[in-house]
């Protein structure tokens, strides 16, 4: 007896599920969450220059990269939620990394402004990321 592995793309309900997620992703609340995720990501990317991470090049590069990653995730959620909803869990994980990164990334001891910037922005990304994950579970 031969067992054949069939991918999810051949599931009979996949089109219906994608359409459901697309409709959910077009709701004003979902678009607002996506926009807030994008704004938080962009702030994280520019925060080294706004807050002043002088002498903390490693943390500045880290925030730039993960901020751009969060902003790109938000663009994906806003434009094709039906195809990207499975990656929504990544935003809260990146937010947790943003919270921990002032202590985890090597360099000089973080200042209060660096800590506040990363912790608040990371917490917002976690919150909005959880909101993006919940969008697909909303009922009409």
Cβ atoms 119, 100 nearer than 8 A: no
Asked whether the beta carbons of 34 and 132 are under 8 A apart, the reply is yes
3 found inside a domain: no
| Residue 59 domain flag | yes
Looking at every residue in the chain, the average pLDDT score rounds to 84
Question: What's the rounded Cα separation, in Å, for the pair 59 and 77?
Answer: 27
With respect to residue 117, please indicate whether it lies within any of the assigned structural domains: yes
| Mean pLDDT value across residues 61-81 | 92
Say how many domains are in the chain: 1
User: What domain range includes position 40?
Assistant: 17-135
Q: Is residue 9 part of a domain?
A: no
Does a structural domain hold residue 82? yes
User: Residue 7: inside a domain, yes or no?
Assistant: no
Q: Are 35 and 126 in contact (CB under 8 A)?
A: no
pLDDT, tens digit, 9 for 90 and up, residues 14-69: 666 666 666 666 667 778 888 999 999 999 999 999 998 888 899 999 999 999 99
């Amino acid at each position: 007896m031969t067992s054949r592995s069939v991918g999810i793309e051949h599931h009979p309900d996949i089109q219906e599920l994608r359409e459901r997620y697309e409709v959910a992703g077009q709701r004003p609340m979902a678009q607002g969450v996506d926009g807030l995720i994008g704004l938080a990501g962009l702030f994280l990317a520019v925060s080294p220059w706004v807050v002043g991470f002088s002498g903390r090049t490693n943390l500045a590069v880290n925030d730039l990269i993960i901020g751009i990653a969060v902003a790109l995730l938000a663009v994906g959620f806003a434009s094709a939620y039906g195809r990207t909803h499975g990656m929504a869990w990544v935003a809260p994980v990146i937010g947790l990394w943003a919270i921990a990164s002032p202590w985890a990334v090597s360099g000089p001891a973080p200042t209060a402004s660096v800590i506040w910037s990363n912790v608040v922005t990371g917490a917002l990304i976690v919150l909005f990321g959880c909101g993006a994950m919940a969008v697909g579970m909303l009922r009409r």
